[in-house]
Structure 1
Amino acid sequence: MKKNSGNSCSPKKAEKQEAFHVIHKLPSGDSPYVRAKYFQLVEKDPEAAIVLFWKAINAGDRVDSALKDMAVVMKQQDRAEEAIEAIKSFRDRCSKQAQESLDNVLIDLYKKCGKLDEQIEMLKQKLRMIGQGEAFNGKPTKTARSHGKKFQVTFKQETSRILGNLGWAYMQQTNYTAAEAVYRKAQQIDPDANKACNLCVCLIKQEKYVEARAVLEDVLQGELLGSDDPKSRNRSEELLKELETYKSSTLSSLGSGTEDAFIGGLDQLMNHWNPVRPRRLPIFEEIISYRDQLAC
């Protein structure tokens, strides 16, 4: 029996190829982007993957995914600065739907490079977008992925997460007054043990030991999400031991200049959070109310 001529492969071979793509989570085809994913995920050759991602971008081949994936691989190769420039240069070729995920990659890259001012500004920008109803590409929730599993994230959860990241960035700048205010708002929206511990650190740094102890008690009593997590519990117990070393049990205040400067900056940020159209979420009414309380 003669073999079939032509480029078509046998059903068994096609099935095997399809199984290979599924196992390695590869897209189908033989384009530059597909080859880049092959070198990234199968060959474990990041340099070859980066070259092919560049080719995919220049060829207009799945540019949204190619730019984001290339930036992630560059970050893993300690080429974060180059990845930042690539996103800035080529994000205008990407769709509107891809911009939010590119912002998330940029925030991670700024964090990797220690560019705290840029990281903080982008986090504020994301909060403004949520306040104006422009986040999630107009949808009520967005799909996120963690450890290979997909789940839905609400505006409330996303706002708390971003505030937590903003508080952490302020902590890296040793701006504990700003970090405290941001963490308190995050805890009001969607409290969890990890942010509670970070808030406690901010309070300790400002010698507000009584307040810090009260925050820790919520964690140790298991009243917060994640309180039963071993890492959070161990951290809270370590912070409690640190608190017990302090003899002072009274609150001390920072210089008014530091606090006033932050409140002024927070007022300016809140002005940006005022939406240009009546789509503000109820949560941002609470933030503005909180701003007024700080100013008192």
Structure 2
Amino acid sequence: MICGILDSDLEYTRRLVDYINGCRNCSYDVVGFTGLPQLSQYARENDISLLVIDETLVEDLKALEIYDKEMILLTRSKDAQGIYKYQSASVIADIISSHKVTDKLHNSKASVMGIASLGDSGRRCATALSLCKSMASESKVLYIGIDEFLPLDKILNIESPGDLSDLMMALTSSDIDGLTCHYGGFDLIIPPRSGNDVEHLQVKDLIELVEHIKGLGIYEKIVLDIGTYVKEWYKLFIYVDEACMVVSQVREELIRYEDFLGFLEYKGLINRSRIRKMEALNWTEI
């Protein structure tokens, strides 16, 4: 298992990482980071089981939505909850070595795909549903609609006992069967029937929801059909295992797509090579 240590003090981080990795009884391979972009890039390619982070960097970490890692704080006060960072390295090493990652986080095997578009939301939705249908022959799949004014129950002519807003309210429930419907071999959580139901929905709320569902161990694939009404929705692309953009061949949409990729790279959020471009489908093709 990998433990990441994040602290802006380069020398402190280097010495602590070297010491812990030199301990024979440590159950983690420890990797040090002094900046969030460095950590974000590493986390996309490696499974970090435990993150030990300086308390002053927590809010910045949440802003990047690297939110699915179990964390211990490095604190500047002996009385604060976490690890007092200015004590001996041997004590810090013992605390980290003895920490057991919770089963819920460690055993979450479902992969998460995010699908978005800067163009027609209907064609994006049709593309996402078609993808779910194709994956359902080999995996247990859940589709989650994150959009407004997209009445999937009416479009697909299915009965749905609930929608995304209902699921957000029942986040602590261990049984989501009562809120899902079935179509094309996979389960669906339809988008909220009213935009007012989730007008304050944030990216971190969606990540917490998906982590909860992953922890239930029901699904192997979770597909997020992402509308643009959620503030800074594109930050979900940092969290998901696979990020996809549905793009038609319309010239204006292709230009917007290229500008969007440039924006993500300029902000240091995600490299364009991680985003899979998908051709938009019509409803008749699902």
TM-score (norm 1): 0.24
Task: Compare the two structures and name the one with the higher helix fraction.
Answer: 1
Task: Compare the two structures and name the one with the higher strand fraction.
Answer: 2
Which structure is richer in relative contact order (CA contacts within 8 A, separation 6 or more)?
Answer: 2
TM-score (norm 2): 0.25
Larger Rg: 1
